[in-house]
Amino acid sequence: MKKTEKKLDIDVASSDIIRMVMQMNELKTINEVCKMLNMTSRTVRYYEQCGLIKTIRNNKTSSRRLDEENIERLRKIRFLRKLRLTLDEISAVIDSETKAAEMIYGKAAELKAEIRTLIERIGWIEEVLAVAEKGGNIYSVKQELGQPSDNTEKLRIAAECTNLLLERRFSELKPYLNSDMKMLPPDFFEAAWNIHIKPCGKFISVGEQSVDGNTVTNRLVFEKLGVVVKTEVCGGIVAGMVLQYFKETESPIQGTPKGEKL
């Protein structure tokens, strides 16, 4: 009886070893994955530090490896990074194709707003260059560009949209939005609120507004973090909204990784 039990124990141990070897053969080293996906090992390790992927290591001396699930996550990360999503944004949507699609809708609206602004600036530059070629005074072109304009309507629209977002009255935002933003999924603003505003804690106050071209900035102070809402207002219509975090003693930084485009 004892011999049978001993043989059974050996068979079980052998099966475990075989299974482990087979599993290790299915895994790929970081260097192998980097060659597959055209990434650097430093980037892969950074993604692991951020909690986006997990590597497997059997002991302290063995090299780190990745299974197919995490390799696929790396493919998704690479794809979403090309679409200008930050790592914080990717972390929030990588496990949900629906959330990822909503985020991409927002990025499309952001790019279109930037393109409109660039086209407007190119038009100004071309006018100035045309005058310069004729030997005219370039500062005489569109004097209003160098003068403060009446931003009352922009401030009003941005304030109302920020208030509707803050109070979660998302359905009332629609009349203010341009055609691109109206195409966003019905629960897009609800999802953005839950992901980016709800974690900031209890709402405290609204700060001062500021205007830079077509962009109106509203500062919202919460218990844990502040939120800057940047509203792009063109011709009385909202072309985009950006959320950025800030600490009460800091100013929001353009392009911060915590930025989220609506």
Closest CA to 166 of 138, 134, 192, 130: 192
CA distance linking residue 152 with residue 156, whole number of Å = 6
Architecture of the CATH domain 2-82: Orthogonal Bundle (1.10)
Token look-up 């109106």 returns: 216
Per-residue pLDDT 10s for the chain (262 aa) are: 555 555 555 554 455 554 544 455 579 999 999 999 999 999 999 999 999 999 998 776 678 899 999 999 999 999 999 998 999 999 999 999 988 888 888 788 778 778 877 887 887 787 788 778 878 888 876 654 554 456 888 899 999 999 999 899 999 999 999 888 888 887 888 888 888 888 888 888 888 889 987 889 999 999 888 888 999 887 788 888 888 887 655 444 333 334 445 5
Any idea where the domains of the chain sit in the sequence?
2-82, 97-261
Strands across the sheet containing 260-261: 203-212, 215-222, 226-234, 237-246, 260-261
CATH number for the region 97-261 comes to: 3.10.450
Q: How confident is the model at residue 136, as a pLDDT?
A: 82
